[in-house]
Amino acid sequence: MQRATTAEQATRTALAGVQVERDRALKAEADTREQRDHAARLLSLSQAERGVRLLEQEDSSGLLYLVEARKTVDHLVEERMARTVLWGGWIESQPTSGWRAFPGSALVRAVAFSPDGRWVAAGGASKTVTIREVSSGRQVASVSAPQVGSAELSAEGRFLLVHAGSNKELWELDPSQAGRPPRRLMVVPMVWPAGGDIAMSPGGEWVFGGPRRKEKGEAPNAGPQFVLWNAKSGESRIIPFKPGNPQPDPVTGKWRSRERIVPPPTGRMGLSSDGTLLAAYLDGDLRLWDLPSGTIREKPLREAKPGRDGLSQKLLFSRDGRRLWEQLTSKAQLFDVAAAEPVARDILYSAPPSPVMSRDGRWVGFAEANGLRILNVQTGERQGELLQSENNVRLDALAFSGDGSRLATGGRDGAIRLWEVATGRPLEQVHKHASRITALDFSDDGQWLAAATQDGSTHLHRTTRTARAPLWEGTNLAFLAFADGKLLVQSQTDGAVQPLDLRSGQLAGSPWPSSNGLPAVMGVGSVWPPAVVSPDGRTLASFSPTTNRQAQI
């Protein structure tokens, strides 16, 4: 009997010892789990902070850190929910996804959008310019042109202007009718100084060209020499320049316009946005002609300086017609059109890339020896600091967004970068291609950026960025959850749940009070997990220390 009692005591003692060890093990496990959870929270916070810092610097790679921050606390309901809300808020502010590539076999030197953003043209060493529909990427037309150096599409994609070798060519397209072949309207030799040009106005609504190349067997005076086209209607008008070698009146100095002998322009040409003013050259002087009358203005913008100015490369009017940019071989001038006086002289630039003017006519971007410079067209003054690419990589392409707020650059490292024009601040790297960037162009609405690469490919990048203003702001919140296109928000003050429409940012319907049988999703001051939403987004279940409830959303 005594032996049995002793055995029972020994057994109880052993069991007590086992229980003590088990409790110690459970406590140690709990402590370890708590330490592990604490470490996970700290790591997740660090990842989230890193991601937000990158995103605030316009670096979209910060989204990857936010994803990792959520994975780190995937086993912790509240923490996971908080990271999900953080990630969801930032993903809405990122550019809409979109990147299309159209491979080619030869170097692409030129890309250009139509002003309405519906069509994009690309051409280069392949001796072909292809026109594609931006929304679908399908090819709608192509034209043959040797040694394509540049391309422009007019309003509604009606006309394609191509710099092909030593000629300018104007083609009539109808990209909406894919079966209709393009028709070549004019070819103009550009041999200096007697050659001509074809110019498209800012906005692409007007095209002027001449003198056109004579075809074989054609009579010397056959056909129009200078023509002005309306790109929207397709209508054309012959400009009444007369052949001959007119001289100014020795007394008045005016051209003998009464005899209808109006000197025609030569060399590079620029056309104002309303098609009423033409800039070109006469005996080396930079002059202005009024259209469609074809009369020449008396005062030249600039008189010729033989052997000093180099060849003219480009003439560009600002959108408002108040300024004219003259680009020579290695320097440029900026003129006040009304006063026929220079605003800025001898602006030195490096090429490539060739200087570009923003569509709104406010800025000109050009390369200097050590970086990029932005010029204010109205004042003629340089804007901000010199822009320098990463690692001083040489840049080969520039393009302004349609509203003139951003500048895109492309370099030999294949990277496309965006800059804020007003401040010169780098915004983001759009993409890094395997081959160097040879040409860039923005659509007028700024949603698409076309890039040509040395490997012969053409790429379309979607660059739309929404504002980062808060969709909705609230304080003293206890709970957030996404469901059925709404964000559910609960106040810690009264426990009521308020649905928020994510599309409009407006409150959706009346709040759900915590009384009258509807769920108190999380009791005020509670530390329990708040609630879950069913996968179909129609049921909300809540849990508190005293009740389990659910309600239909």
Confidence band of 512 (pLDDT split at 50, 70, 90) = low
For tokens 């302004």, name the residue: 400
pLDDT for 213 = 67
Confidence band of 464 (pLDDT split at 50, 70, 90) = low
pLDDT for 538 = 54
Q: Tens of pLDDT along 434-453?
A: 788 888 898 888 888 888 88
For strand 415-420 and strand 539-543, is the pairing parallel, antiparallel, or unpaired?
A: unpaired
Beta partners for residue 482, in sequence order: 487
Query: How far, CA to CA in Å, does 404 sit from each of 5, 336, 360, 443?
Result: 96, 21, 6, 12
Beta partners for residue 382, in sequence order: 375
Instruction: With H, G, I as helix, E, B as strand and everything else as coil, classify residue 510.
Output: coil
Q: Tens of pLDDT along 100-122?
A: 667 666 778 888 888 888 888 88
Beta partners for residue 400, in sequence order: 407
pLDDT of 220 strictly over 90 = no
Tell which CATH architecture fits domain 470-553: Beta Barrel (2.40)
Instruction: Give the residue from 463, 493, 469, 499 showing the smallest Cα distance to 481.
Output: 499
Q: Tens of pLDDT along 120-170?
A: 888 888 888 888 888 777 888 889 888 888 889 898 889 999 998 888 999
Instruction: With H, G, I as helix, E, B as strand and everything else as coil, classify residue 148.
Output: strand
Rounded Cα gap, residues 468 and 242, in angstroms = 59
Rounded Cα gap, residues 503 and 487, in angstroms = 10
Instruction: Give the residue from 348, 349, 326, 327 showing the smallest Cα distance to 337.
Output: 326
Q: Where are the domains of the chain?
A: 14-94, 470-553
Rounded Cα gap, residues 231 and 233, in angstroms = 6
Tokens representing 278 are 């033409």
Query: How far, CA to CA in Å, does 375 sit from each of 135, 345, 362, 399?
Result: 34, 12, 8, 14
- Global pTM reads 0.62
Tokens representing 413 are 């490292």
Span 289-294, average pLDDT:
86
Instruction: With H, G, I as helix, E, B as strand and everything else as coil, classify residue 312.
Output: coil
Q: Tens of pLDDT along 376-407?
A: 888 888 887 777 776 677 788 899 988 888 99
Contacts 24+ apart (CB under 8 A), 535-539: 537/482, 537/483, 537/484, 537/485, 538/483, 538/484
Q: Give the HSE-up count for residue 88: Cα atoms under 13 Å, Cβ half-sphere.
A: 15
Span 474-499, average pLDDT:
53
Burial 404-443 (b: 16+ CB within 10 A, else e): bbbbbbbbebbbbbbbebeebebbbebbebeebbbbbbbb
Instruction: With H, G, I as helix, E, B as strand and everything else as coil, classify residue 270.
Output: strand
Rounded Cα gap, residues 202 and 315, in angstroms = 11
DSSP 156: G
Q: Mind spelling out the 3-state secondary structure of 207-226?
A: EEEECCCCCCCCCCCCCCCC
Query: Which residue type does 74 have?
Result: D
Q: Pick the more confident residue, 248 or 163.
A: 163
Q: What is the four-CA torsion angle of 289, 294, 297, 303, rounded to 10 degrees? A: 50
Max distance between CA atoms of the chain, in angstroms, equals 149
Span 283-310, average pLDDT:
80
pLDDT of 536 strictly over 60 = no
Query: How far, CA to CA in Å, does 328 sit from each of 14, 169, 271, 273, 373?
Result: 100, 22, 17, 22, 17
Confidence band of 175 (pLDDT split at 50, 70, 90) = low
Tokens representing 373 are 């410079």
pLDDT of 271 strictly over 60 = yes
Tokens representing 417 are 């970068």
Q: Is the backbone peptide bond immediately before 265 cis, with ω within 30 degrees of 0?
A: no
Instruction: Give the residue from 315, 294, 82 showing the smallest Cα distance to 197.
Output: 315
